[in-house]
Amino acid sequence: MAISYLNGQVASASGQGPSSKKRSELKEAIKDFLAEAASTPLHGEVCPRCGRKPECIETIFWLYDDEDAFGIRLPVCSCAAKTSEG
């Protein structure tokens, strides 16, 4: 059995030390953000560069070692591809 030392403190063998708690809080904050983004519908958005309505790409986000997946539609405008080509 290994014992980890975090910031001068001995973490318990169960992994519930100070860093583990911070990681858990961060993971929950990221999941909340992804859930909000997945539930927010895109409506009336226009490209700030050209003023046209962008196409939406269906994406899936998930966190390593977690069963939850979040389907998020990302707006992408064709003018972005034109400017990156030169």
Tokens of 49: 């560069």
At 84, the pLDDT band (50, 70, 90 cuts) reads low
Tokens of 76: 């992408």
At 9, the pLDDT band (50, 70, 90 cuts) reads low
Task: Quote the pTM value.
Answer: 0.60
- Check residue 20 and give its pLDDT: 86
Give the separation between CA 53 and CA 84, rounded to whole angstroms.
19
pLDDT mean over 71-81: 87
At 48, the pLDDT band (50, 70, 90 cuts) reads confident
- Check residue 15 and give its pLDDT: 52
Dihedral Cα 58, 27, 32, 66, nearest 10 deg: 50
- Check residue 14 and give its pLDDT: 52
With a cut of 50, say whether residue 64 has pLDDT above it. Answer: yes
For the chain, domain boundaries: 16-85
